[in-house]
Amino acid sequence: MPSIFTKIIQGEIPAHKIAETEDFLAFLDINPLAKGHTLAIPKKEIDYIFDMEDDQLAGLMAFAKQVAKAIEKVVPCERIGISVIGLEVPHTHVHLIPINDIGDMNFSKPKLSPSMEELAELAGAIRKHYAK
């Protein structure tokens, strides 16, 4: 069965997309830890990041870097934190989270529930800064 993220790639489930290449997709997390929390994923469905081919893994990181640069132009923050967990969705995803202190990367804290309108507006603003 395809992962929920493959369904997003295929357009079966809506998402607030930030950037897309032949191999990768970035979109806003639906329940962010912080405003601008974005997921960068490979289009090829692989559960565990360290099962990815080296070139695909390097490509995902380079893609995440470009996405992070766009996020930080829109969301005021000290820097973009990066984390990979993957215990909920079995499709590799890199969390990109605007942070100001270490606590902002605490995945145990309550998540935010922005409206679809807020997510759409934010995604649009970040998209404008993504360098293809």
| Catalytic residue annotation | 93
Residue 97, interface with ligand 5GP (CB under 6 A)?
no
C-alpha closest to that of 1 among 81, 77, 91: 91
Ranges assigned E (strand) in the chain: 17-20, 24-28, 38-42, 79-83, 94-99
Choice between 62 and 116, CB closer to ligand 5GP: 116
Residue 15, interface with ligand 5GP (CB under 6 A)?
yes
Residues in contact with ligand 5GP, total (CB under 6 A)?
A: 15
- Phi and psi at 68, nearest 5°, equal -60, -40
Q: Which of residues 31-60 bind ligand 5GP (CB under 6 A)?
A: 31, 39
Per CB under 6 A, the list member of 3, 4, 52, 125 interacting with ligand 5GP is 4
CB 104 within 8 A of CB 97: yes
Q: Which of left, alpha, beta for 69 (phi over 0: left; psi -120 to 50: alpha)?
A: alpha
Minimum distance, C-beta of residue 94 to ligand 5GP, in the bound complex (Å): 9
Question: Using CB under 6 A as the criterion, which residues of the chain lie in contact with ligand 5GP when the complex forms?
Answer: 4, 13, 15, 27-31, 39, 85-89, 93
